[in-house]
Protein backbone atom coordinates (compact mmCIF):
# COMPACT_ATOMS: atom_id res chain seq x y z
CA UNK A 1 0.00 0.00 0.00
CA UNK A 2 1.31 3.44 -0.94
CA UNK A 3 1.07 5.34 2.35
CA UNK A 4 4.07 7.69 2.41
CA UNK A 5 2.41 10.53 0.50
CA UNK A 6 -0.47 10.44 2.98
CA UNK A 7 1.89 10.39 5.97
CA UNK A 8 3.85 13.34 4.58
CA UNK A 9 0.65 15.32 4.12
CA UNK A 10 -0.37 14.53 7.71
CA UNK A 11 3.07 15.54 8.98
CA UNK A 12 2.80 18.89 7.21
CA UNK A 13 -0.60 19.39 8.83
CA UNK A 14 0.38 18.65 12.43
CA UNK A 15 4.00 19.82 12.69
CA UNK A 16 5.88 23.02 11.82
CA UNK A 17 8.38 22.73 9.00
CA UNK A 18 11.35 22.97 11.39
CA UNK A 19 9.94 20.52 13.96
CA UNK A 20 11.97 17.46 14.90
CA UNK A 21 8.68 15.57 14.88
CA UNK A 22 7.93 16.12 11.20
CA UNK A 23 10.12 13.26 9.99
CA UNK A 24 8.72 11.01 12.72
CA UNK A 25 5.13 11.58 11.60
CA UNK A 26 6.03 11.37 7.91
CA UNK A 27 7.92 8.12 8.47
CA UNK A 28 5.30 6.31 10.57
CA UNK A 29 2.79 4.07 8.75
CA UNK A 30 -0.12 4.80 11.07
CA UNK A 31 -2.42 2.44 9.19
CA UNK A 32 -0.34 -0.50 10.48
CA UNK A 33 -1.42 0.37 14.03
CA UNK A 34 -5.12 0.80 13.26
CA UNK A 35 -6.25 -1.98 10.90
CA UNK A 36 -9.77 -1.87 12.34
CA UNK A 37 -11.68 0.70 14.35
CA UNK A 38 -15.15 1.66 15.60
CA UNK A 39 -17.26 4.56 14.36
CA UNK A 40 -20.50 5.87 15.90
CA UNK A 41 -23.58 4.20 14.42
CA UNK A 42 -26.24 6.22 16.23
CA UNK A 43 -28.21 5.63 19.45
CA UNK A 44 -25.03 4.93 21.39
CA UNK A 45 -23.98 1.99 19.20
CA UNK A 46 -20.72 1.54 17.31
CA UNK A 47 -20.08 0.09 13.84
CA UNK A 48 -16.94 -1.74 12.79
CA UNK A 49 -14.67 -0.41 10.06
CA UNK A 50 -12.21 -2.82 8.46
CA UNK A 51 -9.20 -1.16 6.86
CA UNK A 52 -8.05 -3.93 4.50
CA UNK A 53 -11.62 -4.25 3.26
CA UNK A 54 -11.61 -0.66 1.96
CA UNK A 55 -8.08 0.60 1.38
CA UNK A 56 -9.06 4.15 0.38
CA UNK A 57 -11.20 4.63 3.50
CA UNK A 58 -8.40 3.13 5.57
CA UNK A 59 -5.88 5.62 4.25
CA UNK A 60 -8.27 8.54 4.74
CA UNK A 61 -8.95 7.58 8.35
CA UNK A 62 -5.42 6.57 9.33
CA UNK A 63 -3.79 9.70 7.91
CA UNK A 64 -6.28 12.24 9.21
CA UNK A 65 -5.66 14.19 12.38
CA UNK A 66 -8.41 12.38 14.25
CA UNK A 67 -8.62 9.82 17.02
CA UNK A 68 -9.83 6.38 15.95
CA UNK A 69 -11.67 4.37 18.59
CA UNK A 70 -10.27 0.84 18.70
CA UNK A 71 -12.00 -0.52 21.80
CA UNK A 72 -15.53 -0.02 23.17
CA UNK A 73 -16.04 -1.33 26.68
CA UNK A 74 -14.15 -4.66 26.67
CA UNK A 75 -14.65 -5.22 22.90
CA UNK A 76 -11.63 -4.60 20.69
CA UNK A 77 -12.16 -3.93 17.00
CA UNK A 78 -9.43 -6.42 16.09
CA UNK A 79 -11.56 -9.35 17.28
CA UNK A 80 -15.03 -8.13 16.31
CA UNK A 81 -17.30 -9.48 13.61
CA UNK A 82 -18.68 -7.12 10.94
CA UNK A 83 -22.27 -7.21 12.23
CA UNK A 84 -21.45 -6.40 15.84
CA UNK A 85 -22.88 -3.17 17.27
CA UNK A 86 -21.47 -2.75 20.77
CA UNK A 87 -22.64 0.08 22.98
CA UNK A 88 -20.75 1.83 25.71
CA UNK A 89 -17.85 4.19 26.14
CA UNK A 90 -14.52 4.01 24.30
CA UNK A 91 -11.74 2.40 26.33
CA UNK A 92 -8.85 2.68 23.87
CA UNK A 93 -8.05 4.56 20.69
CA UNK A 94 -5.43 5.66 18.27
CA UNK A 95 -5.00 9.23 19.49
CA UNK A 96 -5.07 12.04 16.96
CA UNK A 97 -1.46 12.51 15.77
CA UNK A 98 -1.44 16.28 16.30
CA UNK A 99 -2.30 15.82 19.97
CA UNK A 100 0.37 13.14 20.40
CA UNK A 101 2.96 15.51 18.96
CA UNK A 102 1.81 18.35 21.23
CA UNK A 103 2.08 16.17 24.33
CA UNK A 104 5.55 14.96 23.36
CA UNK A 105 6.67 18.52 22.62
CA UNK A 106 5.50 19.59 26.07
CA UNK A 107 7.90 16.94 27.39
CA UNK A 108 10.93 18.92 26.16
CA UNK A 109 12.63 15.68 25.15
CA UNK A 110 16.36 15.65 24.55
CA UNK A 111 18.81 13.17 23.06
CA UNK A 112 19.54 10.40 25.53
CA UNK A 113 16.46 11.03 27.69
CA UNK A 114 14.67 7.96 29.01
CA UNK A 115 10.94 8.35 28.31
CA UNK A 116 8.08 6.61 30.07
CA UNK A 117 5.00 6.74 27.86
CA UNK A 118 1.77 5.92 29.71
CA UNK A 119 -1.05 4.65 27.51
CA UNK A 120 0.40 2.44 24.78
CA UNK A 121 -2.92 2.20 22.95
CA UNK A 122 -2.28 1.16 19.36
CA UNK A 123 1.46 1.77 19.63
CA UNK A 124 1.54 4.63 17.11
CA UNK A 125 2.60 7.22 19.70
CA UNK A 126 5.35 4.85 20.82
CA UNK A 127 6.57 4.67 17.21
CA UNK A 128 6.87 8.46 17.08
CA UNK A 129 8.86 8.47 20.32
CA UNK A 130 11.18 5.73 19.02
CA UNK A 131 11.83 7.80 15.88
CA UNK A 132 12.95 10.67 18.09
CA UNK A 133 14.83 8.92 20.92
CA UNK A 134 15.61 5.39 19.79
CA UNK A 135 14.04 2.18 21.04
CA UNK A 136 16.45 1.84 23.95
CA UNK A 137 15.18 5.05 25.53
CA UNK A 138 11.43 4.40 25.30
CA UNK A 139 9.21 2.42 27.67
CA UNK A 140 5.51 2.23 26.78
CA UNK A 141 2.96 1.16 29.39
CA UNK A 142 -0.68 0.10 29.30
CA UNK A 143 -3.05 -1.71 31.68
CA UNK A 144 -4.40 -3.97 28.92
CA UNK A 145 -2.25 -7.01 28.05
CA UNK A 146 -3.89 -7.36 24.64
CA UNK A 147 -2.94 -3.79 23.74
CA UNK A 148 0.68 -4.20 24.83
CA UNK A 149 0.98 -7.50 22.94
CA UNK A 150 -0.57 -6.08 19.76
CA UNK A 151 1.51 -2.91 19.94
CA UNK A 152 4.70 -4.92 20.46
CA UNK A 153 3.95 -7.02 17.38
CA UNK A 154 3.11 -4.04 15.20
CA UNK A 155 6.20 -2.13 16.32
CA UNK A 156 8.33 -5.22 15.65
CA UNK A 157 6.92 -5.44 12.12
CA UNK A 158 8.51 -2.02 11.54
CA UNK A 159 11.82 -3.05 13.08
CA UNK A 160 11.18 -1.24 16.39
CA UNK A 161 11.79 -2.90 19.75
CA UNK A 162 11.07 -0.48 22.61
CA UNK A 163 10.22 -1.83 26.04
CA UNK A 164 6.44 -2.35 26.23
CA UNK A 165 5.05 -3.24 29.65
CA UNK A 166 1.64 -4.23 30.98
CA UNK A 167 1.10 -2.33 34.22
CA UNK A 168 -1.41 -0.24 36.14
CA UNK A 169 -0.45 3.44 35.97
CA UNK A 170 -2.50 4.15 39.09
CA UNK A 171 0.11 2.16 41.03
CA UNK A 172 3.91 2.09 40.76
CA UNK A 173 5.59 2.27 37.35
CA UNK A 174 8.22 -0.22 36.16
CA UNK A 175 11.39 1.82 36.23
CA UNK A 176 12.52 5.42 36.52
CA UNK A 177 12.57 8.04 33.80
CA UNK A 178 13.84 11.47 32.79
CA UNK A 179 10.53 12.23 31.15
CA UNK A 180 7.05 10.81 31.67
CA UNK A 181 4.32 11.68 29.19
CA UNK A 182 0.85 10.30 29.81
CA UNK A 183 -1.61 9.68 26.99
CA UNK A 184 -4.31 8.88 29.55
CA UNK A 185 -5.82 11.21 32.14
CA UNK A 186 -4.54 10.60 35.67
CA UNK A 187 -6.35 11.17 38.95
CA UNK A 188 -3.47 10.99 41.44
CA UNK A 189 0.15 11.60 40.53
CA UNK A 190 2.02 9.92 43.40
CA UNK A 191 3.02 6.85 41.38
CA UNK A 192 4.30 8.76 38.36
CA UNK A 193 6.22 11.23 40.55
CA UNK A 194 7.95 8.34 42.30
CA UNK A 195 9.13 7.03 38.92
CA UNK A 196 10.45 10.40 37.80
CA UNK A 197 14.17 11.09 38.25
CA UNK A 198 15.29 14.27 40.06
CA UNK A 199 14.80 17.21 37.72
CA UNK A 200 12.68 15.05 35.42
CA UNK A 201 9.60 16.38 33.66
CA UNK A 202 6.02 15.14 33.81
CA UNK A 203 3.40 15.86 31.17
CA UNK A 204 -0.15 14.67 31.80
CA UNK A 205 -3.79 15.52 31.61
CA UNK A 206 -6.01 15.16 34.68
CA UNK A 207 -9.10 13.01 34.82
CA UNK A 208 -12.32 14.89 33.97
CA UNK A 209 -10.48 18.21 33.60
CA UNK A 210 -9.08 18.59 30.04
CA UNK A 211 -6.01 20.42 31.29
CA UNK A 212 -2.38 19.70 30.46
CA UNK A 213 -0.05 19.86 33.44
CA UNK A 214 3.70 20.12 32.95
CA UNK A 215 5.88 19.94 36.05
CA UNK A 216 9.52 19.38 36.94
CA UNK A 217 10.49 17.18 39.88
CA UNK A 218 12.01 18.80 42.94
CA UNK A 219 14.41 17.36 45.55
CA UNK A 220 11.60 16.77 48.07
CA UNK A 221 9.86 14.35 45.69
CA UNK A 222 7.19 16.80 44.61
CA UNK A 223 7.07 18.85 41.42
CA UNK A 224 6.28 22.37 40.30
CA UNK A 225 4.97 23.59 37.00
CA UNK A 226 1.98 25.08 35.24
CA UNK A 227 -1.32 24.33 33.61
CA UNK A 228 -0.44 24.99 29.99
CA UNK A 229 -2.34 27.42 27.78
CA UNK A 230 -3.30 24.33 25.87
CA UNK A 231 -5.89 21.66 26.46
CA UNK A 232 -6.59 18.04 25.69
CA UNK A 233 -9.11 15.35 26.46
CA UNK A 234 -7.88 11.82 27.13
CA UNK A 235 -9.62 8.73 28.46
CA UNK A 236 -9.21 8.22 32.19
CA UNK A 237 -6.94 5.53 33.58
CA UNK A 238 -8.73 2.29 34.30
CA UNK A 239 -7.75 -0.69 36.40
CA UNK A 240 -9.79 -3.41 34.67
CA UNK A 241 -11.02 -4.43 31.24
CA UNK A 242 -13.45 -1.52 31.13
CA UNK A 243 -14.52 1.43 33.23
CA UNK A 244 -16.83 0.95 36.19
CA UNK A 245 -20.51 1.33 35.31
CA UNK A 246 -21.06 4.87 34.14
CA UNK A 247 -23.60 7.29 35.53
CA UNK A 248 -26.41 6.05 33.29
CA UNK A 249 -28.40 4.67 36.20
CA UNK A 250 -27.96 7.90 38.14
CA UNK A 251 -29.16 9.95 35.19
CA UNK A 252 -32.13 7.64 34.64
CA UNK A 253 -33.14 7.96 38.29
CA UNK A 254 -33.34 11.76 38.15
CA UNK A 255 -34.25 12.28 34.52
CA UNK A 256 -37.74 13.60 35.21
CA UNK A 257 -37.71 13.80 39.00
CA UNK A 258 -39.15 16.86 40.72
CA UNK A 259 -36.45 18.67 42.64
CA UNK A 260 -36.26 19.44 46.31
CA UNK A 261 -35.34 22.93 45.13
CA UNK A 262 -36.95 24.37 42.00
CA UNK A 263 -35.66 27.73 40.80
CA UNK A 264 -35.06 29.75 37.66
CA UNK A 265 -31.48 29.65 36.49
CA UNK A 266 -29.50 32.76 35.78
CA UNK A 267 -27.71 31.57 32.63
CA UNK A 268 -28.76 29.57 29.56
CA UNK A 269 -28.47 25.79 29.61
CA UNK A 270 -24.91 24.74 28.86
CA UNK A 271 -23.39 21.51 27.58
CA UNK A 272 -20.90 21.44 30.43
CA UNK A 273 -18.83 18.56 29.09
CA UNK A 274 -17.99 20.60 25.97
CA UNK A 275 -17.14 23.79 27.90
CA UNK A 276 -13.75 22.55 29.03
CA UNK A 277 -12.71 25.44 31.28
CA UNK A 278 -16.09 25.46 33.03
CA UNK A 279 -16.01 21.68 33.34
CA UNK A 280 -12.54 21.77 34.90
CA UNK A 281 -13.62 24.31 37.49
CA UNK A 282 -16.74 22.27 38.28
CA UNK A 283 -14.60 19.16 38.82
CA UNK A 284 -12.55 21.12 41.37
CA UNK A 285 -15.73 22.27 43.11
CA UNK A 286 -17.47 18.87 43.04
CA UNK A 287 -14.97 16.09 42.23
CA UNK A 288 -16.59 13.18 40.43
CA UNK A 289 -19.55 15.08 38.98
CA UNK A 290 -20.97 13.58 35.77
CA UNK A 291 -22.64 15.59 33.00
CA UNK A 292 -25.28 14.79 30.40
CA UNK A 293 -26.87 17.05 27.78
CA UNK A 294 -29.62 16.72 25.18
CA UNK A 295 -31.12 18.94 22.51
CA UNK A 296 -34.55 18.34 21.00
CA UNK A 297 -35.18 21.10 18.51
CA UNK A 298 -34.71 24.29 20.51
CA UNK A 299 -35.28 22.54 23.83
CA UNK A 300 -32.04 22.14 25.79
CA UNK A 301 -31.69 20.02 28.92
CA UNK A 302 -28.61 19.38 31.03
CA UNK A 303 -28.18 17.04 33.97
CA UNK A 304 -25.48 16.90 36.63
CA UNK A 305 -25.20 13.90 38.95
CA UNK A 306 -22.79 12.92 41.67
CA UNK A 307 -22.15 9.60 43.44
CA UNK A 308 -23.08 11.22 46.75
CA UNK A 309 -26.69 11.52 45.53
CA UNK A 310 -26.58 15.16 44.50
CA UNK A 311 -28.23 15.96 41.19
CA UNK A 312 -29.49 18.83 39.07
CA UNK A 313 -31.52 19.22 35.90
CA UNK A 314 -31.92 22.43 33.93
CA UNK A 315 -34.21 22.78 30.93
CA UNK A 316 -35.15 25.69 28.70
CA UNK A 317 -35.96 26.72 25.16
CA UNK A 318 -32.85 28.01 23.43
CA UNK A 319 -31.18 30.72 25.58
CA UNK A 320 -34.11 31.49 27.87
CA UNK A 321 -33.57 31.20 31.64
CA UNK A 322 -33.96 27.52 32.54
CA UNK A 323 -36.15 25.81 35.08
CA UNK A 324 -33.69 24.20 37.49
CA UNK A 325 -34.49 21.18 39.66
CA UNK A 326 -31.95 20.13 42.30
CA UNK A 327 -31.75 17.48 44.99
CA UNK A 328 -29.40 15.59 47.29
CA UNK A 329 -26.84 16.93 49.77
CA UNK A 330 -25.30 19.52 47.41
CA UNK A 331 -26.68 21.99 44.91
CA UNK A 332 -24.66 21.20 41.80
CA UNK A 333 -26.31 23.72 39.46
CA UNK A 334 -25.75 26.44 42.04
CA UNK A 335 -22.05 25.54 42.08
CA UNK A 336 -22.03 25.67 38.27
CA UNK A 337 -23.67 29.08 38.19
CA UNK A 338 -21.08 30.48 40.59
CA UNK A 339 -18.41 29.39 38.11
CA UNK A 340 -20.28 30.91 35.18
CA UNK A 341 -20.78 34.15 37.09
CA UNK A 342 -17.04 34.34 37.66
CA UNK A 343 -16.45 33.74 33.96
CA UNK A 344 -18.83 36.56 33.03
CA UNK A 345 -17.54 38.93 35.68
CA UNK A 346 -13.82 38.40 35.04
CA UNK A 347 -13.81 37.42 31.37
CA UNK A 348 -12.06 34.12 32.04
CA UNK A 349 -11.48 31.34 34.54
CA UNK A 350 -8.23 30.91 36.46
CA UNK A 351 -7.46 27.23 35.84
CA UNK A 352 -5.58 27.64 32.54
CA UNK A 353 -2.23 29.31 33.07
CA UNK A 354 -2.25 28.63 36.81
CA UNK A 355 0.80 27.52 38.74
CA UNK A 356 0.85 23.92 39.97
CA UNK A 357 2.58 22.47 43.02
CA UNK A 358 2.33 18.68 43.13
CA UNK A 359 3.13 17.33 46.58
CA UNK A 360 4.82 13.90 46.93
CA UNK A 361 1.44 12.35 47.81
CA UNK A 362 0.31 13.16 44.26
CA UNK A 363 -2.09 16.00 45.05
CA UNK A 364 -2.09 19.00 42.70
CA UNK A 365 -2.37 22.45 44.27
CA UNK A 366 -3.32 25.18 41.81
CA UNK A 367 -2.87 28.93 42.32
CA UNK A 368 -3.42 31.98 40.17
CA UNK A 369 -3.73 35.40 41.71
CA UNK A 370 -6.01 35.11 44.74
CA UNK A 371 -7.54 31.87 43.51
CA UNK A 372 -6.40 28.44 44.69
CA UNK A 373 -7.73 24.89 44.57
CA UNK A 374 -6.55 21.30 45.08
CA UNK A 375 -7.09 18.11 43.11
CA UNK A 376 -6.40 14.43 43.56
The residue among 40, 42, 37, 45 whose CA lies nearest residue 92 is 37
pLDDT at 44: 86
- Calpha distance 303→290 (Å, rounded): 8
Backbone angles phi, psi at 4, to 5 degrees: -65, -40
- pLDDT (0 to 100) of residue 266: 96
CA dihedral sign of residues 113, 114, 117, 121: positive
Burial of residue 334, with CB atoms counted within 10 A of its CB: 0-12 exposed, 13-18 middle, 19 or more buried? middle
Phi, psi of 104 (to 5 degrees): -65, -35
pTM over 0.75: yes
The H-or-E segment that residue 142 falls in is: strand 138-142
| Residues lower than pLDDT 70 in the chain | 239-247
Return the ∠ at Cα 320 (arms to 317 and 337), rounded to 5°.
Answer: 115
Torsion of CA 147, 214, 21, 231, to 10 degrees: 80
How confident is the model at residue 250, as a pLDDT? 83
Phi, psi dihedrals of residue 33, rounded to the nearest 5°: -85, -15
* 57: enclosing H helix or E strand: helix 55-62
Domains of the chain: 4-227 (3.40.50.150), 248-346 (3.30.160.690)
Is 105 in a helix, a strand, or coil?
Answer: helix
pLDDT of residue 321: 97
Amino acid sequence: MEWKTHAERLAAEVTPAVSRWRDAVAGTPRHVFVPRWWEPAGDGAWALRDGPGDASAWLRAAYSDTSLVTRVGPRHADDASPDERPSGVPTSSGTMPGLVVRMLRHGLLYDGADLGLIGTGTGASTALAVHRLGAGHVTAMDVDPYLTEAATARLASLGMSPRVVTCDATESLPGDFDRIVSMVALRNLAGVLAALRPGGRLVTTLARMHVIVTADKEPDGGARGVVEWDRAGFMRTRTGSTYPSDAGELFAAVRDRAGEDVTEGRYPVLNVAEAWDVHAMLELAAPGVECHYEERGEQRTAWLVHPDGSWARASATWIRPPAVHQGGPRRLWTALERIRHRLNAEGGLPIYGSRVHITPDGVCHFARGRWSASYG
